[in-house]
Amino acid sequence: MKERILTTTPDRAAGAGRQYEYLVLSVAPGDSVADARQRVREHSEYGRWELERSRLYMGGGRQYWLRRKIMLVERTA
């Protein structure tokens, strides 16, 4: 399994009105689907990620796209 984090570009974020960061979880055809689902479940529970898209490719590979809002913190002092 391979994980990578992507952030939105300013052009894309301006059109949507919200900014998200994305986590793409790629699963090879030989990897366990149960392990992949467990990893998605852990990310959503502890990291506040939500599943946006899941894909099943012809060779048996899978890809899960998770997203979460980018929290902008303003300095108060």
User: How crowded is the C-beta side of 60, counted as CA atoms within 13 Å?
Assistant: 6
* DSSP code for 49: -
Strand order in the sheet with 50-56: 2-7, 20-27, 62-69, 50-56
Q: Tens digit of pLDDT for each residue in 1-42?
A: 788 888 765 555 455 566 899 999 999 999 999 999 999 999
Q: How far apart are CA 34 and CA 39, in angstroms?
A: 9
pTM of the full structure = 0.75
Q: Tens digit of pLDDT for each residue in 38-54?
A: 999 999 999 899 999 99
Residue-range domain boundaries for the chain = 2-69
Q: How far apart are CA 10 and CA 54, in angstroms?
A: 25
